Amino acid sequence: MLVRVVKRRGGEAMLAGRIVEVEVYLGADDAAAHSAAGKTARNAVLFGPPGHAYVYFIYGNHFCFNVSCMPEGDAGCVLIRALEPVAGIEEMARNRGLVVAASEGRAAKLRLLTSGPGRLCQALGITRPHDNGKDLTSRQSDLWIGDDQFKPGEIATTARIGITRAAEQPLRYVIAQSPFVSGNLRIPKAGAGRHR
């Protein structure tokens, strides 16, 4: 199994991150999916062809980025929940309103860039009117997903996060070894905490 990279060309810099955490949403029979109640103006992309971007705005503050995965007419999708920053880190930090210092707290701050659905959208500049519906399989698009030949270690599955319905299904997939997965369910080893 190979993991992929989300890339985005913005102006001069290219922004890229490796996908380290996703959640699956089934089209039908999934009370947590936006598509559960049928097609609407908001989720229309999910019912289109696979490999396209579904972007939506949530909680009045944040965007979330999904990839439609099922053939036309079926609304299954994958929510991209966390990335490992790969390229364009300074611009991502600007987008997030953070400053990445050159040395020490760097690793810690990298986690703040893209470890979460809302964060990674802000870091990559993904917004609803602008990016919704883009073809992620075409390099002509300024937002696409490609294969970077990365060989992940163990893939762990857990319950999905932040939802209020059908939350118990183990449809969240994370690269177990990655420190860049979103914070909620990180499994800190005993005594692994930081001091100060």
Residues forming the site for DNA (CB under 7 A): 23, 25, 32-35, 37, 40-43, 54, 56-62, 64, 66, 77, 79, 96, 112, 116-119, 128, 160-165, 182, 188, 193-194
Q: Are the CB atoms for 174 and 153 separated by under 8 Å?
A: no
Q: Quick one: 34 or 52, whose CB is closer to DNA?
A: 34
Phi, psi of 80 (to 5 degrees): -80, 115
CB of 181 to DNA, least distance (A): 11
Q: Quick one: 18 or 34, whose CB is closer to DNA?
A: 34
Q: Quick one: 116 or 125, whose CB is closer to DNA?
A: 116
10 Å CB burial of residue 22 (0-12, 13-18, 19+) is: buried
Q: Quick one: 56 or 150, whose CB is closer to DNA?
A: 56
The vertex-162 CA angle with 166 and 119, nearest 5°, equals 140
| 179 DSSP 8-state letter | T
CB of 151 to DNA, least distance (A): 26
Q: How far apart are CA 83 and CA 7, in angstroms?
A: 11
The vertex-27 CA angle with 118 and 31, nearest 5°, equals 75
CB of 147 to DNA, least distance (A): 22
Q: How far apart are CA 31 and CA 164, in angstroms?
A: 9
CB of 51 to DNA, least distance (A): 15
> How far lies 29's CA from each of 13, 33, 76, 77, in Å?
41, 9, 10, 13
| 183 DSSP 8-state letter | S
Q: Quick one: 151 or 194, whose CB is closer to DNA?
A: 194
CB of 33 to DNA, least distance (A): 5
Q: Quick one: 63 or 144, whose CB is closer to DNA?
A: 63
Beta bridge partners, 63, equal 57
